[in-house]
Amino acid sequence: MTKTETRHITQGEYATGSKSEEMITTVLGSCVSACLWDPVARVGGMNHILLPGRVWEEQNSRGVSVNEMELLINAILKLGGDKSRLQAKLFGGARMISNFSDVGVRNGEFVLLFLKMEGIPCKGHSLGGEQARRIQFWPFSGRARQKLLGRQELPEETIPENLPISDTELELF
């Protein structure tokens, strides 16, 4: 049995992989992670995005986040991936502090719009809600697993259709 090589990323970071034993993890609140992979080349990666700044600094916020997405895509291409074959799974974007701006929703909307503009299909997502999530992603296979932290409920609108879900876990294959 091969030992899993685990890499943990935090805000503003990304990691890529191309081996079956590699796994990337992160913990998300209002941040969003895009898990991208090329199923033919069997390479992929995950980032951890938080829109910086305040509402009136929106233009700069988008520029920084676009850069974070582009860095991940370019790193996957360097491993042999092809942008035309990339697929995505998205996680995060929770509202962690009530009575505060909903940066989680903005993070999720940004990544969904970015993928649409770049022609990258989103194969599943779990965005929104009020819970933190622990995400595990295997870039070789594109498999992703979410473990909810804290409360045991996930709003129905954030559950991808036709995907298995237990009380606190969601796995996207």
What DSSP line would sit under 74-123, residue for residue? HHHHHTT--GGG-EEEEEE----STTS--HHHHHHHHHHHHHHHHT--EE
- The answer for residues whose C-beta is within 8 angstroms of residue 141's C-beta and 6 or more apart is 20, 37, 42, 173
Is the pLDDT reported for residue 75 higher than 80?
yes
Q: What is the pLDDT of residues 24-35, one digit of tens each?
A: 999 999 999 999
CATH number of domain containing 36: 3.30.1330.200
Task: Please tell me the distance from the alpha carbon of residue 146 to that of residue 61, in angstroms, as a whole number.
Answer: 26
Beta bridge partners of 32: 49, 92
Highest mean pLDDT: which of 31-35, 53-57, 103-107?
31-35
Domain that holds residue 52: 5-172
Q: How many domains, the chain? A: 1
Q: What pLDDT score does 74 carry?
A: 97
| Beta-sheet pairing, 122-127 with 132-138 | unpaired
**Six token digits for residue 128:** 């929104």
Is the pLDDT reported for residue 89 higher than 60?
yes
Taking alpha carbons only, the member of 149, 14, 162 closest to residue 75 is 14
Q: What is the pLDDT of residues 39-54, one digit of tens each?
A: 999 999 999 998 754 4
